Amino acid sequence: MRVGIIAPNYYPAETGNAVTVRRIEAQLRLLGCEVRVFPVERLPGERLQAAVAEFAPQILHAFHAYHGGRVAYALSKSLGLPYLITLTGTDIYQALCDQRGLEMHGALRGAARLVAFHACVKKRLGEHLSSLEERTVLIHQGVELPTEYAPLAGAGEKEEFVFLLPAGLRPVKNVLFPLAPLAELHARYPQVRLELAGPVLEPGYAAQVMEALERYPFARYLGVVAHEAMGELYRRVDVVLNTSLTEGGMANTVLEALSYAKPLLVSDIEGNRSIIRDGVTGLVYHSAADFCSKAEHLVTDAHLRDRLGKNGRCLVRDNCCPEKEAGAYLALYRDILGAA
């Protein structure tokens, strides 16, 4: 089967959309599919249509209803190809709620199927466009389960206690949030550190982050960490954070941290609650004060960190198999083509 993937944010490779697309792309090839990715930022307008026409896919698979779905909708009309859209987060939690919403309606309605990572995303879509809920399929995000995941040698003897926030620098990731509460914690526990890792996605916001970091010497920006190097980073740090304002359900960085048996402290949003059960597979905070209190608990209680990490790894081992994820997409492609 020939599958054309319409991918926004395919570069840099460290963005959440890129990680998702590259994982599914690789797994589909292992299942015998011929796959070509069309990065919308690199192939604008007529060049994109010509490239897709030359490849002649049987089906188009778009990611993000606004950035990828509208492109697939236009290609479908011009080339007569069926398409599906995987909803990735900001399309449903932001774009559908603002001035971009009307632009998305045609793309959403024209899709043969829509895919959500979790029922909370499907429910949110249904609140806006109830007629689409029955055409929305749930396929959980997958994550590679590393065989080596124990802390790096000597990590338990280091003087620093490191919180890691892996996120692209843009407002929805809310990376400024942990600075003030962790500064309060740092005053009581001088070993506390914060490390930020991720690409600059919105330069204006990134400039605010860099300016803020100058006021908090316990925190530092690592820059872009190559995805293949993230495993070593997860193994080195003590706790992984997610401070996002919205997530599309099952954020890649959360799943990856769980796969490395790392304890998580995450914001109280639907996307995080779709994975993290407070006190079982991680800790969920509701305010800055709650964040500080739970962060302190993680600093002082090694048994809690160990228990959360083990539970989290078991969760992704049992529910987030990348082979099953790709197999579900392949079955969906066949279903769409069989009904065409």
* Identity at 292, one-letter amino acid code: C
State the pTM of this model.
Answer: 0.90
Residues 64, 88 contacting (CB under 8 angstroms): yes
pLDDT tens for the chain, residues 1 to 340: 999 999 998 887 888 889 999 999 999 999 999 999 999 988 877 899 999 999 999 999 999 999 999 999 999 999 999 999 999 877 888 777 777 878 888 999 999 999 999 888 898 888 888 999 889 999 999 999 999 888 886 655 678 999 999 999 999 999 999 999 999 999 999 999 999 999 999 999 999 999 999 999 999 999 999 999 999 999 999 999 999 998 877 789 999 999 999 999 999 998 899 899 999 999 999 999 999 999 999 999 999 999 999 999 999 999 999 999 999 999 999 999 997 6
